[in-house]
Structure 1
Amino acid sequence: MRLRHLACYRRSHLASTLLGFVLLGAILGYLQLHTRNLVTKDTSGNNKEHLSIFKKDLYTFLFTNESHSKINYSILNVTNVSSEQNITSFPATQNLKPYEWCSDESSQFHYNSTYAEDIMKYNISFIPEGYKNPCFYDVCKTVGSVSVRALRCLPYFHLIGVDKSGSTDLFARITQHPQVLPNLGVLEKETSWWPWTRYGHGLKKQVRKESFDKYLGYFDNAAGQIERTIQLNKKGSNANNHDFHLLITGDGTPMDFWDFSGWPKIPQNRNQNIPKILTPHLLKHVNPNVKLILVLRDPTERLYSDYLFLKSGVQTPKGFGAAVLQSLQYFKNCTERYSVRKCLFDRKLHTRVKARIHVSIYSVFLKEWLKVFPRKQILIIRSEDYSQNISSHLKNIFNFLGVTELAEKDITKIATRSRAYQTPTKKKIGPMLNSTRHRLDIFFQPFNEELVEILRDEKYLWLDTKEKIKQNLKKQEKRRLENLKNQINVNASRTISLTKEQKLVLKPFMDADDRNSNTE
């Protein structure tokens, strides 16, 4: 009897134990599934490590009778541990430091939206000490499928224009300075983000919109070099504020200066007939101390080079003249109905004119920049002056950027390198027609006068360069006429020398004078 009771007891105890383990397994399975969203997904297999941490805390709770708050704390620690390992999704924004930002704000932008990304809602502040270039920490930088905390930078300077004024050559020379880094854009210079890709268009066609996070990506290589390169103090230590990351980077998109045609897609301009917010406002908001460099060229000469470079129409002086007439007429028709400002900012004008006369109307665009940025933040130079004395202008630009002064031999080496780009077809095709030049000079005259008033410098009438061009054209014409005259003389004095065999064949057909001349 006692043995029967003992067997029953053992069976009951075994059943209870088995039931306990079944319940424990069910609890573990439920909690593991329930808390899966609390654990950062990592394709490299780190989930197992996070789950083991969670299970350890759960077992501690079950078998040591600790409070439930311990479990909550442990679950939060999973995120904290992952954050220290730089593989978590971004933390709550209220935990960000002043010089931290989360790019998820930008990367989650809906590309199919009617409007462009709202840059004005972003509040980015830069690391206050130690960095010359404006940089901050992105706590949500995505590398593959993992989020990390990474240094990211905006440009220290923008070379904002203008097209076909030597900006490509100038940017290439600026980045020869050991402190200046290029970007990942076209020619390691142009991102096209502010005027074009953020709105989803290019020169004339639609393109995929790019987010602000994508724009930052153009400078990620530079940011890495900026972070790794440190100027040590005299004691050889880098542990105090006397050590700096002195490298800088820039953006050399020449359309920044003049292409505001995307303004209707800026959220702050919603339901507006004229723009309230333009590129200068947006740039000022995210990068208030940025330095701006502007290169201006004789508007008429710039337009001719621009036309040949873009191959906008028939590549001849006559074809250019026809394109100018079409463009001037289109502009005239627009300004009869709307203001000059509204016409210049109109996307239709940009895509329909055959010669981009609007790009050469500098004064209207410059006024927009000066409404936002103080004059001291904008360095303006003439392309013609730069070409005449590259060394002097490089010194001035490096001083404006606040980078280390270079030795004279280094400046000379940078200044004497070959030109980065020139329009080759212009030399082959020759100068524009005098009638076209005269027509354009008259058209641009009032805008040049307004530019002189803004900058208080009469050199922006380009009278000196126009006189040089006039003299050069006279020399070219004189040289052409002399060559033509010499060619005529050569042809007139040329005689035909016949061999004996040719004389015998042609003798029956030759008159007496021809026979005598060939006999001699």
Structure 2
Amino acid sequence: MNSEFVSSVGHLKVNHVTRCRSSSCVRCSKVCGFILLLIFIVGSYMLSSERKTLLFPPYLLEEDLSEDALRDAVRNIATKVKFEARRVPDVSESIGLEKHMFSVIPQHFLPNVKNPCWFEELRGNVSEDPYRSNLFGRSRQIQLIFERLSGSFRQRLRRHDGKLQRLRCLPYFYIIGQPKCGTTDLYERLKLHPDVRLTPPKEPHWWTRKRYGIIISGERPHTRFPLDHYLDLFDPVAIQIQQSLLGNSSSGIITGEASASTMWDNNAWLYFHDNSTWAEPPSLVLDSIHALQPDARFIAILRDPVERLYSDYLYFGTVNKSALDFHQKVCESLRMFDGCLRDAGLRACVYNGTLNNAMTVRLQVGLYVVFLLDWLSVFSRDQLLVLRLEDHASNLTLSMSRIFRFLRLAPLSDQRQRQISRRPASNTRHASDRNLGPMQTITRELLTLFYAPFNQKLAEVLRDESFTWDGRSEHA
């Protein structure tokens, strides 16, 4: 019902804005604004019934869509941007929230294996198919993998101190974001390295969504995916590592996953904590990962957030896509974000799931520095490799070499390096989307203004002016 509400509101707003632009919009704004106000009052309560305040205050619905008014609104947002340090929870707090996880996964992993792996005591009937009920197996591709794994399961068990054990593994590294920034291309190229094993799905979205029972972003939780189901995804690499151990040799094989939601998506916290609308999350996904894997390594590939947002709209949009429709959605979302900042701090708005689900384009995903600062509040700078898609695409050989060094992988032959670099790009824009043309000039101007203070802070944190995406570094 909640998703139907958001859809119906979005449909009403688009139709309203399409009929009424610029000066003509003033004539119908009062009636439509009143209707929208009533809808948002009811809808905010429906989307967040436990909260005592509304997400969308009445002043948000004032309909002045002139270019000057929109520029003023974006400049107003910039005056409220303050990068304040978060309260970092103790590791004990994170463990308390995930007691089962920390009872299953040990504090220390096997010493002669590069990838984080351990032997887990097997309980229950070993003759049963351990993958039969795995919720990831709903995908036919994953189901076929599980069917092959189940055939050799009993042969993979080892007996130690009279108990049966199976080898379990976590990812050595995570590609944590961002969407529409080249994560698929990076994932496919990494698979070509002989010491890297990446199994489908590319994006389990377990840390951010499925462990809470969220299957599709924006929907309410349903059945949670257990930790064991996530660990099953890495059994193919566990088999190869175990074979190395049986041969009395150390293993340099590593595995990883590439859920582009890991860096930024913390929307699920709203469903599991009693809080006010304007609160910040008491803990983030990164806190759980840090408590579990303090030595993990992370790759974030970023892109000019203005271009990222348009690409995101074209890829995930369904019907009536156009430069005009994108402009209208950007204006609506900017006004919503501005409205939130009138009552709450920056981090509270960035992590406000109700706001994020209501905005018709994902503005918050491009606020890279907010997420990066939070990751750096628990992980060291040398554990996080931050790349620009523009640099990656322009010099694949240099970019992949940098990534391989970061992952501490062995050097490659020239032939293998050429094979990886010359692989065709993955997940490029569809021809039908390219035919829609570029975004409107005013849309680009508004988004550039909006993202500018965040990009500048990002460049300061990374000590690299190219992350301002202002063109100066590229032409230097």
1:325 aligns with 2:331: yes
User: 2:442 matched to 1:459?
Assistant: no
Partner in structure 2 of residue 205 of structure 1? 219
**DSSP 3-state at the match of 2:122:** strand
Q: 1:119 to 1:332 in 2, by over 3 A?
A: farther
Candidates 435, 440, 465, aligned match of 1:433: 440
2:150 aligns to what?
Answer: none
Q: Which residue of 2 is the match for residue 195 of structure 1?
A: 208
Kept in 1: contact 2:115–2:169 (CA 8 A): yes
Which residue identity is paired with 1:397? I
Residue deviations 1:302-329 (CA, integer Å, cap 9, x gap): 0000001001563111111111011111
CA–CA separation in structure 2 for the residues paired with 1:131 and 1:141? 24
- Equivalent position amino acid for 2:401 in 1: K
Contact 1:133 1:247 survives alignment (8 Å) = yes
Q: Report the residue type matching 2:207 in the other structure.
A: W
Using the alignment, how far apart are the partners of 1:218 and 1:123 within structure 2?
A: 15
Residue 137 (structure 1) aligned to one of 112, 116, 119: 119
- Runs of 4+ with >6 A deviation: 465-468
Q: Distance in 2 between matches of 1:353 and 1:151?
A: 44
State the distance in 1 between where 2:104 and 2:372 align: 26
Which among 357, 367, 373 is matched to residue 363 of structure 2?
A: 357
Amino acid at match of 1:213: D
Higher normalized contact order (CA 8 Å, seq sep 6+, divided by chain length): 2
Q: Deviations over 1:46-100 (max 9, x none)?
A: xxxxxxxxxxxxxxxxxxxxxxxxxxxxxxxxxxxxxxxxxxxxxxxxxxxxxxx
In the alignment, the residues of structure 2 paired with residue 380 and residue 183 of structure 1 have an alpha-carbon distance, to the nearest angstrom, of 23
Alpha-carbon distance in 2 for matches of 1:141, 1:328: 53
Q: Residues 281, 141 of structure 1: CA spacing in aligned structure 2 closer, same or farther, 3 A cutoff?
A: farther
**TM-score, length basis structure 1:** 0.62
What's 1:344 paired with? 350
Contact 1:384 1:465 in 2 (8 A): no
Q: 1:181 corresponds to which residue? A: 197
Q: Flag structure 2 segments of 5+ consecutive residues without an equivalent.
A: 1-96, 131-163
Distance 2:165 2:103 in 1: 21
Displacement of 1:331 in angstroms is: 0.9
What is the CA–CA distance in structure 1 between the aligned matches of 2:403 and 2:316, rounded to whole Å? 29
Amino acid at match of 1:401: L
3-state DSSP class of the match of 1:354? coil
| Distance in 1 of aligned mates of 2:197 and 2:417 | 17
The Cα offsets for residues 443-502 of structure 1, whole Å up to 9 and x where unpaired, read as: 00111111112112111101228988xxxxxxxxxxxxxxxxxxxxxxxxxxxxxxxxxx
Report the Cα distance in structure 1 between the residues aligned to 2:427 and 2:228, rounded to whole angstroms.
30
Q: Distance in 2 between matches of 1:126 and 1:116?
A: 17
Q: CA deviation at 1:429?
A: 1.0
Partner of 1:219: 234
Which residue does the alignment assign to 2:186?
170
**Amino acid of the structure 2 residue aligned with 1:434:** T
CA distance in 2, matches of 1:285, 1:204: 27
Matched residue SS, 1:136:
strand
* Partner residue, 1:378: 384
Partners of 1:270 and 1:121 in 2: how far apart?
Answer: 26
Displacement of 1:275 = 2.4
**SS of residue paired to 2:209:** helix
Matched to 1:156, the amino acid is Y
Alpha-carbon spacing, 1:166–1:132, altered in 2? closer, same or farther (3 Å): same
Aligned identity (percent) is 33
Query: Counterpart of 1:203 in structure 2: which amino acid?
Result: S
Q: Which residue is equivalent to 2:456? A: 449
